[in-house]
Amino acid sequence: MLGKAARQTPPIWWKIRKTGKKTIGVLSPGYGLEKVSYSLMPNGFSYVKLNQIPFHRIFRTDNIFTQTNIVIGGGADLIHTFNTIPVNRPFVISFETELPRFLGHPTDWAIEFGYSMLQSSRCRGIYALSKAGRNFSAKRMRARGFADLADQIQIFRGGITIPQTDTFANLRPLRGEIRACFVGGHLFHKGIEAVIRATEQLRLHGIDITLTVVGKCRDSTYAAPDVLFNGNQVLSKFDQCSWITYYPQLPNAEILKLFFSHHLLFFPSIDESLGWVLVEAAMCGLPRIATNIFAFPELIHHGRDGWMIDIPLNDDRRWSFLGKPEAKDVWDDTQKFMSERILDIFGDNNLSVEKLIEVGATARDHINYLYGQDKARAQLESIYESALK
């Protein structure tokens, strides 16, 4: 995935320091924020990598120490972080799901401390990457009496670009079999059971469709903690079916090549904080079939640039059984339901290679509007200028 590649390879902007420009401090790791913010290179600003005291390695106890830090060394006019809260420098903060992000079971004291840091004069802006993320975090702030903090949350999605090289030109066949793909770090969590079942049924109904799968068969997921998955059975299925091509993982360039050479992305994931694979696939011209969870409806207009499978949700737009013991009882039925909805989507829309290419072009336009770099760069310049006043 693009985000993973961005985290692994230090980009050039780590080293840029130009006279006369305001400097924005960067803490590593950025957990994917690089691709939506730092890489935009906003006019009048440059980035510098800063160091931090690794409290989480010193104390090895409370998760609060992984998400709050003291920044040391390096001059910067402002720090732009992702999830983490600097306690001694002015900063703006971006986040996907919640703030403060203290994983596990944080104490009330830890949460109150995080909110107090966000209320301090050092915090110059709070930016969610989606409407769903803003609503999720704001709801919890209001419940604890921090309505003023909730009202300060704004949305900055960032900007993304996909390299359009000659390597990717004319890879997507304009007719013939439908090439579908599935890309996810955790196959079961992302809905591989539903996808395999649906693809098998489509082929039995005479639809000429193949499936390329990228991901690993992990034996459990937090989404359904009491479910143990049979990875060997699925891997055996991959070997037996000539219409399935399987890769445990692929480098970023090969993922892009995959997107540009296919007609459709299956991504019926049971839980996500945003859905970057939906964004990146659409930028490569792929329509998507996904669940209706969290921020996915912001990325897909049902029936226009993709299709959504409606699974039961709670007030936070998460799967109703997420992390609950009852998830074990409904897992198989949920996968079966999603596979049936995929069949309905194909039948109701008479999907063909030509139709999918047409819908994929609309998906590209929609995502480019949301994540266009020129618009995002102007937004980011405004964010930094406002924060430094």
pLDDT at 6 over 70: no
Q: Which residues of 15-25 are buried (b: 16+ CB within 10 A; e: fewer)?
A: eeeeeeeebbb
The pTM of this model reads 0.88
Residue-wise burial string across 114-124, b where 16 or more C-beta atoms lie within 10 A, e elsewhere: bbebbeeebbb
The secondary element (H helix, E strand) that includes residue 308 is strand 306-309
Q: What is residue 38's predicted lDDT score, i.e. its pLDDT?
A: 76
Across the range 148-164, mean pLDDT stands at 90
pLDDT tens-digit series, residues 48-70? 888 776 554 544 445 544 565 66
What pLDDT band is residue 13 in, cutting at 50, 70 and 90?
very low
pLDDT, tens only, 220-237:
999 999 999 999 999 999
* Nearest CA among 210, 214, 227, 211 for reference residue 270: 227
Using DSSP's 3-state secondary structure scheme, residue 183 falls into: strand
pLDDT > 70 in the chain, percent: 86
Domains in the chain, ordered, with CATH? 2-158+372-388 (3.40.50), 166-371 (3.40.50.2000)
Of 326, 281, 261, the residue nearest 190 (C-alpha): 281
Residue 111 pLDDT level (bands cut at 50, 70, 90): confident
Look at residue 84 in the predicted model and tell me its pLDDT. Answer: 82
Distances in whole angstroms, Cα of residue 167 to Cα of each of 179, 219, 258: 19, 36, 11
Would you state the pLDDT for residue 14? 44
